[in-house]
Chain A
Amino acid sequence: MKSMTWPLFDERYRDLIPDYVQFLESLEGDLPVGIRVNELKADSQVVKELAEINDKKLVKPFKELSFFQAQGDGERKFWGGRLEHHLGLYYLQALSSLFPVLALGARPGESILDLCSAPGGKSAFVAQEMKQQGPLICNEPDLNRRRVLKANLERMGVQNAATFAGTGEQLAFKEASFDKVLLDGPCSSEGTLRLINQRMKKKKKGNFLTYNADFRKQMRATQWELLKKACFLLKPGGTLVYSTCTYDPNENEAQVNRLLEHNESMKIAAIELPCAIHDRLTSGVVAYQGENYHPSLKNTYRVYPHRIDSIGFYFAKLTKRD
C-alpha cells in the first residue's frame, strides 16, 4: 500500500515529534477500540466474559485500570453493538482520553467542573473517580452535543451531575466555586487523524488534512477565554487540568504559557498517574517557532500514537496558589 503523505505535519512537526517517521507510520495503523468498564454499574468481568463468549481478543494496557483495547476490523461495531454497551456497563473511549481525568485526581466530596463536557466519557469517568460524592457540573453549549452528553450520563448511571447549557465563558458560577476544573478544550483535533484516516481509507478517500488559519485562530481565542474562566472558577489550592487532542503547540503549551504569564496565581503541577505510563509519555515542549515557553512546561505531557497505541493528546496540570 502506498503511504499517505502528510506535508502539513512535515512542515510543522518534523523537528518537534520524536521518531517522526514512526509517528507518521502510526497514523496509518488502525486505532484500537478502547473499552472502559463503567464501575458505577459493573466490573471487568462483564467485558472479559463478553470477549470469552465471542472469541474476542483483548489487551489490558494497565493492570491498575479497568480498561481494555480490541484491535481489528469490526471490533468497534462489535463492542458498540452489544446490549452491555447500551446498558452503560462499559463506555468506548480512547486510552489517551483517560489521562486528563487521571491527572485531575478527582476525590469524593470535591466540587468539580467539566467545562467542555460532551460527549460525556470523561465526565462519567470523573463521577466514577469521585465515587459520585460531591457536585459534578457538566457544561456544554451545543444543543446536539448536550443531548448526547445527557444521554450518556444517564446511560452510565451518573447521579451527582448537573448539566448546564451556556458557553463556558458565560457560566454563571461565583469566583472560586470549584476544587477542580477539567478543561478538555475545543481544538483542531489533529490527534484524532488516525481514526479519521481509518474511516477515510474505508471510503477509499485520500488525505483530507488542511490548515485553516482562521479556524485555528478562532480555536485559540476560545481556548484562551475558557482558560481564563477556569482559573476564575477555581478555588485557591484547586487543580485545573487543561487538555486537547491536538499536536499544535500553539493550542497547547503556548496557551498554558500565556496563562502562567497572565495569572501569577497559577503554576504547573507535577502529574502523577496511577499506572505505569510516564516513560511512554513525551514532555511538553518549551520552545516552538522561535518562541520560548516557561521551563515548567516540560512537566506537561504529550501523547503520541507511536508511543501509546491511541489518539494524540496533550495535557497539563496546574494549581492555583493559596
Chain B
Amino acid sequence: MLNLLNATERQEIVDYCQDRYAVDPVLWEDLVLKKSSEAVWAFPVELNKFLLAHALEEAETSGLRILSGKSFPYKITDSFLALFRSAISKGIIELKGDQVGGLLFDKSIELEGEHPSIEGYVILKYRGYFLGVGLKRGSKIESQIPKKLTNQLSSKLEFRDK
C-alpha cells in the first residue's frame, strides 16, 4: 500500500537529498512521492496523471523505488542514481579498479590514505559512472550493491583504471 507523502515528509526528503547528495530541490517538482512501509517511491507527474485520467489502477509497476528503509537515514537505490544521475555531486566515492573487484566480490574494502569524511550511505563511482551504493564507516566501505548483480559477474573480471 502506497500513501502520498504529506508536505512535511516530502520537504524532509528533499532537504536530506540536497544536503547529502546535492540534488537540486527543483528536480523534485515533476515527481509525486509516495511511501510504503519500507520505501519511498517517486512517480513522474505526467505518468501519474495519465494513469489517473484513464482510471487505471492495475499497472503492475509504475514509479521508482528511490529510497529504501522505514525512516531516516534512508538508503538510496539504483533508481535514485538513475533518476538524479546528472544532478548528484556530493556523497560520492571514486573507486579504482582494484577497489571495485574488492567491493563486488569481497563485499567490503578499506580505504587507504586520505578519504572523504562523509559517513553513511555513499555513492560509488568507477570510471565516471555509478556503480551503486556503499555504506561507509570510517575508512571501511561495505557494498550495498545487489547480490543479483554480483552473482551475474565472473570473479575473473578485471577492473582496470583508464
Contact = CB atoms under 8 A, between A and B. Distances in A.
A10 interface: no
Contacts, number: 88
Interface string A159-188: 111111110000011100100000000000
A180 to B, nearest CB: 14
Given A49-B127, A164-B59, A174-B54, A157 B162 contact: no
A154 interface: yes
B44 to A, nearest CB: 5
B56 A173 contact: yes
B46 A133 contact: yes
Interface in B33-82: 44, 46-47, 50-51, 54, 56, 58-64, 78-79, 81-82
B154 interface: yes
Contacts of B62: 161-163
Interface string A94-129: 000000000000000101000000000000000000
Contact of A162 (B51, B129, B130, B154): B51
Interface string B134-160: 000000000000000100111001011
A83 B151 CA distance: 11
A159 B81 CA distance: 11
A81 interface: yes
A83 B153 contact: yes
A133 B79 CA distance: 16
B82 A40 contact: yes
Contacts of A160: 44, 46-47
Interface of B: 44, 46-47, 50-51, 54, 56, 58-64, 78-79, 81-83, 85, 100, 104, 127, 129-131, 149, 152-154, 157, 159-160, 162
12 contacts: A41-B129, A46-B129, A82-B157, A83-B153, A87-B130, A150-B61, A159-B79, A160-B44, A162-B47, A162-B63, A166-B58, A173-B56
